[in-house]
């Protein structure tokens, strides 16, 4: 017998979630600070809202699926209808708990509920899970039990936030400038962002946070949500006239995209959320730990060299071999051959869809290059873009009907290419077969999976919108390749950071953060991405002296300091750097490999610098025995000296040996301008580092101070 409805209190990692299942639908009465041993049953009474003049005779609850039919005046959680417009405003009720689990040692837990609307012939299942590390995972599924089809327009997860949350933070941007932090007041009405690109997008990352005014990295209350989905999505934040606030996230569905036939079910992507009463950085830890617990984890995140910016489409065997030699000498561990190895691919106008080795660029095949790379102690990786097709390709000439689009209209191209409809079994089988043969026939350990154009009028074979099915087919293809080639590691790329989310990173071990490798821009791009994904899954590369994306010139040391805190790689042309640059690069790669146990498993931290020209961040060991932190000076400050750099959350009574990592001279001037603690080190307690901190020197723009802290007994 299923448990009867009631109030369920889930607790984990300083977070409480109180779910009231006594009404029509589950209502999250509290998601926030830990409530101790409270049952949470009195919260509904304590927060009861009274009837007001001019309003309805009911106060509709902010349930996980707010319903227009019961008086909710905000955005409904479900929108849809049957033929003729019937059943457009369902009213689910008769909620019952069908599953209730308590986490190990009482940490966290899960409930699953079922609610019905017999008049509309719909059943709703809601799953609410609080993970032991404090992440709240919520998803919904609606089933059509009637004898006619139901046209679903929208199904989104709704999470209430406290009325003190008066600001919204989002991650917006564009190509080569992703994950920019935007903060706006949430005072009245609604804020929203919609993504229709067919991927998670450069413009609107699937992340939104509501917070108290003045919330910083280490203070203030924040409620954040991320949609684990690699396709179209929307987020929505609203404050109602009565002051209640809530967040909504879900897949963005095109008109007619989801038609539920009798007996069919549609399930939302999971919304992964986190609360912190101590600021943005502790909030991020919960999201990072949730991904770490669910994502594939390679034994070692090997330092790689990628050939793209070194040679682009110019694949010359001797040059590539010399690049491999230089990469091995620098300490790299993997060689990734980027675009240009297949078909007639001498530029971006041809051959996508024909995944066979180019007889022009590689007349003896890839094996001689792979043998050379392997002889230098390097793994071999390769670039693919399986979702795309060039019109100048054997695949498109044979099967123009495989294009994801409406052939009655002109095709909109991007990067001279079209999208291949992988929901078609024949197109899927073609791509899967070619990629299987590629991986079967070659010693390939790493695949960079790219996606370089957005969806436009993504019409499937049946004439309906196909974006949702395409996203599912891409996930299915990646799963199939991983299953058949378990030793191969996959990287998610979409013109850089256009596909970074917890769903794709449940399949790919790495994400290419941005096509911009300029370290000045990358400092802010990487900082924004770290709000919901940990640094070790973010590809961070050492680019060219003069950045290809911005034309800005920086030192090798600054490029290395920017790249070493994530999954480090090299993309500059190792055959053209000078001896001084090579020496710095070798030292930096050696330092990274010696410390990547910390960098790839610790708690990633961000610091408030109170200076828009500076960025500070780093990684703490989980037991706080060690830390690596960096202060990056991006431009010329209006101050003669940077503000004091405080490092909270270390062990207060522990003593730390603080040492500069000398990648380059970052200090303006010389002699007396060099602070004693940088030259000789200093020992401070965790309490002193948190309350007083370190005084950075006056630094040149485009330099970074890297500091190693080690606990001493």
Q: Which residues are catalytic?
A: 450, 515
331 Cβ partners below 8 Å, 6+ apart? 303, 586, 589, 590, 593
CA distance to 272, 348, 390, per residue, from 421 (Å): 29, 20, 13
Q: How far apart are CA 65 and CA 561, in angstroms?
A: 46
* Spatial CA neighbour of 132 closest among 11, 27, 248, 213: 11
Is the CB of residue 666 less than 8 Å from the CB of residue 713?
Answer: no
Length reported for the chain: 713
Both tokens assigned to 573: 């042309």
Q: How many CA atoms lie within 13 A of 6 on its CB side?
A: 10
Residue with tokens 């409809």: 421
* Radius of gyration from C-alpha coordinates of the chain: 27
Give the Cα separation of 405 and 408 in Å (integer).
Answer: 9
Pairing of strands 379-384, 446-449: parallel
Distances (CA, A) of 574 to 306, 317, 338, 547, 592: 11, 15, 15, 14, 18
**Tokens 């909710």 belong to residue:** 72
The CA-atom distances, in angstroms, between 457 and each of 26, 408, 421, 450 are 37, 11, 12, 21
Neighbours of 62 (CB within 10 A): 20
Q: Do residues 224 and 285 touch, judged by C-beta distance below 8 A?
A: no
Q: Would you call 60 helix, strand, or coil by DSSP?
A: coil
Report H helices in 467-568: 467-484, 519-529, 556-563
Interstrand relation of 538-542 and 510-512 (parallel, antiparallel or unpaired): parallel
What distance in Å separates the CA atoms of residue 445 and residue 208, rounded to the nearest whole number?
Answer: 35
Who's near 24: CB < 8 A, 6+ residues apart?
61, 63, 67, 70, 91, 92, 93, 94, 95, 115
Q: Identify whether the C-beta of residue 591 lies closer than 8 Å to the C-beta of residue 661.
A: yes
Instruction: Give the integer Cα–Cα distance in Å for 383 and 336.
Output: 7
């Amino acid at each position: 017998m299923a448990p009867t409805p009631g109030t369920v209190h889930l607790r984990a990692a300083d977070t409480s979630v109180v779910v009231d299942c006594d009404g029509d639908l589950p209502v999250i009465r509290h998601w926030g600070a830990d409530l101790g041993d409270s049952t949470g049953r009195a919260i509904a009474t304590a927060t009861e809202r009274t009837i007001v003049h001019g309003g309805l005779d009911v106060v509709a609850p902010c349930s996980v699926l707010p319903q227009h039919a019961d008086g909710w005046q905000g955005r409904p959680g479900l929108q849809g209808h049957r033929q003729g417009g019937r059943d457009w405003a369902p009213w689910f009720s008769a909620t019952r708990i069908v599953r209730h689990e308590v986490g190990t040692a009482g940490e966290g837990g899960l409930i699953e509920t079922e609610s019905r609307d017999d008049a509309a012939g719909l059943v709703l299942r809601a799953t609410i899970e609080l993970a032991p590390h404090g992440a709240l995972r919520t998803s919904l599924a609606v089933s059509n039990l009637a004898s006619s089809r139901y046209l679903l327009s929208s199904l989104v997860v709704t999470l209430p936030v406290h009325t003190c949350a008066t600001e919204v933070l989002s991650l917006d941007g564009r190509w080569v400038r992703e994950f920019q932090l935007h903060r706006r007041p949430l005072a009245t009405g609604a804020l929203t962002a919609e993504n229709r690109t067919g991927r998670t997008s450069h413009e609107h990352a699937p992340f939104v946070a509501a917070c108290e005014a003045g919330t910083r990295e280490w203070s203030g209350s924040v409620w954040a949500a991320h949609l684990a989905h690699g396709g179209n999505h929307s987020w929505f934040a609203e404050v109602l006239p009565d002051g209640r606030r809530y967040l909504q996230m879900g897949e963005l569905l095109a008109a007619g995209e989801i038609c539920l036939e009798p007996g069919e079910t549609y399930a939302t992507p999971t919304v992964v959320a986190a609360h912190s009463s101590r600021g943005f950085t502790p909030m991020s830890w919960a999201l990072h730990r949730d991904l770490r617990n669910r994502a594939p984890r390679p034994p070692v995140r090997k330092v790689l060299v990628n050939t793209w910016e070194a040679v682009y489409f110019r694949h010359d065997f001797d040059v590539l071999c010399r690049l491999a030699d230089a990469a091995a000498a620098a300490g790299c561990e993997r060689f990734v051959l980027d675009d240009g190895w297949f078909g007639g691919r001498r530029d971006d106008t041809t051959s996508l869809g024909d995944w066979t080795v180019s007889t022009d660029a590689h007349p003896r095949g890839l094996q001689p290059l792979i043998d050379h790379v392997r002889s230098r102690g390097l793994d071999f990786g390769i670039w693919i873009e399986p979702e795309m097709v060039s019109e100048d390709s054997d695949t498109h000439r044979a099967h123009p009907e495989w294009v994801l689009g409406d052939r009655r209209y002109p095709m909109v191209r991007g990067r001279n290419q079209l999208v291949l409809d992988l929901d078609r079994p024949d197109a899927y089988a073609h791509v899967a077969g070619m990629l299987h043969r590629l991986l079967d026939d070659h010693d390939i350990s790493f695949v960079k999976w790219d996606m370089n154009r957005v969806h436009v009028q993504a019409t499937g074979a049946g004439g309906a919108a196909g974006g949702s099915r395409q996203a599912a087919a891409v996930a299915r293809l990646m799963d199939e390749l991983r299953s058949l080639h378990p030793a191969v590691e996959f990287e998610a790329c979409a013109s850089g950071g256009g596909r970074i989310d917890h769903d794709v990173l449940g399949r790919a071990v790495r994400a290419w953060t941005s096509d911009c490798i300029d370290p000045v821009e990358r400092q802010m791009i990487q900082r924004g991405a770290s709000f919901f994904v940990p640094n070790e899954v973010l590809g961070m590369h050492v680019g060219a002296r003069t950045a290809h994306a911005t034309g800005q010139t920086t030192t090798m040391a600054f490029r290395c300091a920017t790249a070493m805190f994530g999954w480090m790689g090299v993309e500059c042309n190792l055959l053209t750097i000078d001896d001084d640059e090579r020496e710095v690069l070798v030292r930096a790669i050696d330092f990274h490999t010696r410390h990547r146990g910390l960098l790839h498993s610790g708690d990633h931290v961000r610091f408030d610098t109170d200076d828009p020209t500076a960025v500070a961040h780093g990684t703490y060991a989980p037991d706080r025995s060690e830390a690596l932190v960096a202060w990056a000076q991006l431009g010329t400050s209006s101050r003669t000296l940077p503000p004091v750099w405080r490092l909270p959350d270390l062990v207060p009574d522990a003593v730390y040996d603080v040492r500069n990592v000398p990648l380059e001279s970052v200090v303006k001037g010389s002699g007396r301008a060099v602070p004693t603690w940088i030259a000789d080190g200093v020992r401070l307690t965790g309490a002193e580092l948190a309350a007083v901190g370190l005084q950075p020197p006056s630094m040149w723009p485009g330099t970074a101070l890297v500091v190693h802290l080690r606990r001493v007994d």
